[in-house]
Amino acid sequence: MGNASSSSSKSKKNNGNNNNCKNACNNKKKTTNECNNKKEVGPKNYKLIVLGSSGVGKTSYSFRFVSNIFITEYDPTVEDAYKKDYTYDGKEMKLEIIDTAGQEEYSSGVMDKSIRCGDGFVLVYSITSRESYQKIKDLREKILWVKDKEKVPMIIVGNKSDIEKDRKVTKSEARALAEEYGCKYIETSAKTNTNISESMDFLLKDILFNESKEKENK
């Protein structure tokens, strides 16, 4: 649950909620690629990075979570940021959702900066595209390399679950991949608002658990 604001260079359309979408996009800000190291006062800030191939629905997924609106048309993403006040497990927090370009359009330097500043990662593929599923391995390896860690909070998201008739990736193989990586897997639909908040909750749980382990090891 929470309030949202967004920054975006896109022109967005939605299914009958154009005014709401316009209002949600009014508070724009420039996306920065520098990590914020200032001492936090009040609710803690978390930066969540949404990664995946072009066309898998990263923007629809991000916008549905932030504003509960399904957008159907938008300009290709370079990198956009959406902010949302959120409460998870009784903890108030401020989330910044970084909606990234597809790997094909994302320069290595920009991707590295986004990953370096990220607290958690949503690896999105479309259940209708095996190619986008196969990119998940590359994304995970990139994250671990940039963060220089063996374990980083992340979740694998199979989007477009509403298009079951065009499925190319089975649930069982995606679940097996997530088990291999030691992370959660969930299927979502931005169109029908299926498991969007649930997927973010799983990621936040992983982030908080990771924080507690790091504190124990200090």
CATH number of 136's domain: 3.40.50.300
Question: Pick from 107, 143, 127, 132: which is nearest to 189 by CA?
Answer: 127
Examine residue 36 and state whether it is found in any structural domain, yes or no.
no
Any domain includes 35: no
- The residue type found at 157 is V
Would you say residue 201 lies in a domain?
yes
Taking the model in full, what pTM does it have?
Answer: 0.83
Chain centroid, CA 159 distance in Å: 11
Please write the tens of the pLDDT for every residue from 14-70: 554 444 444 444 433 334 445 755 566 789 999 999 999 999 999 999 999 999 999
Asked if residue 202 belongs to a domain, the reply is yes
138-161 residue pLDDT tens:
999 999 999 999 999 999 999 999
Residue 187 placed within a domain:
yes
Query: What would the two tokens of residue 97 be?
Result: 């959702």
Domain range for residue 172?
A: 4-30+42-217
How many distinct structural domains can be found in the chain? 1
Cα separations in angstroms, 167 against 32, 132, 184: 36, 12, 20
| Residue 37 maps to a domain | no
